Amino acid sequence: MEFSGRSVVLTGVGREGQVGEAVARAFADRGARVFLVDRQESEARARSEALVAAGLRSAALGADLTDAAAVDALAARVRDATGGRVHALVHLAGGFAASGPLADSDPAAWARQFAINVTTAALTARAFIPLLRSTKGAIVFFGSEAALPGARVAGISAYAAAKTAVLTLAQAIAQEERDNGVRANALAPTSIRTAANLADMGADAAYVTREAVADVVLWLCSDAARAVTGQVIRVR
């Protein structure tokens, strides 16, 4: 899987030790120019500078992905930097929080889970799809195992519902953009071995590695997966 000469946008690449860091490094190692996006540009810059120091191609951008105007401005900056040609969008931005039993839940917790997981995905895809059409590129969303049938979702209904909406969004884009050559797929991973999860859940929990997740993302964005769209890939 080679990505030389290709431009890849990755959102949610901020803190060290998270999955976005590993996915960005995997793309950059294979020749891609990666645009790393985080709400805090300083966080994205730290990850980007590490790649540049290794001789790889990277740029950092900051944006509030729940703000449509900010996302449109972000896409315009990437358009200017790439000549309007983006080959892949990997939307890692989002977050998890337990909302507790529905009867006792805070409506604000629901609003936040949908804002950071669904609104960010929809606004980012909306802004970048025109840049992906020119390359017949790929979008990869991050759902969750919690969004799959039969998952244990008690106490996390806001998160699970939001991630289910992300999977539906991927399906809609796959159908809408098929004739334009843009494909959209989603991952549904179990817990990923990130620094944050290790701190919260301990080292003995069952994890999928960041590198295993990166391998699936790169395959979905590669030429080998040009016929794959509208799929939910379970990673465990």
Residue 12 belongs to a domain: yes
Give the predicted TM-score (pTM) of the model.
0.95
Residue 228 belongs to a domain: yes
At residue 234, the pLDDT reads 95
Write out pLDDT tens, residues 39-76.
Answer: 999 999 999 999 999 999 999 999 999 999 999 999 99
Residue 164 belongs to a domain: yes
Nearest to 167 by CA among 152, 182, 189: 189
Q: Label residue 145 by pLDDT band (50, 70, 90).
A: very high
Q: Label residue 215 by pLDDT band (50, 70, 90).
A: very high
**Cα–Cα distance for residue pair 135/76, rounded to 1 Å:** 17
Q: Label residue 35 by pLDDT band (50, 70, 90).
A: very high
Residue 1 belongs to a domain: no
Q: What CATH number should be reported for the domain holding residue 197?
A: 3.40.50.720
Full residue range of the structural domain in which residue 167 is found: 7-235
Residue 2 belongs to a domain: no
Q: What are φ and ψ of residue 148, in 5° steps?
A: -90, 155
**Cα–Cα distance for residue pair 230/172, rounded to 1 Å:** 8
Count of structural domains within the chain: 1
Does residue 11 have a pLDDT over 80? yes
Tokens at residue 160, please?
């699970």
Residue 231 belongs to a domain: yes
From its phi and psi, is residue 151 left (phi > 0), alpha (psi between -120 and 50) or beta?
beta
159 a catalytic residue:
yes
Check 3, 141, 142, 159 and give the catalytic one: 159
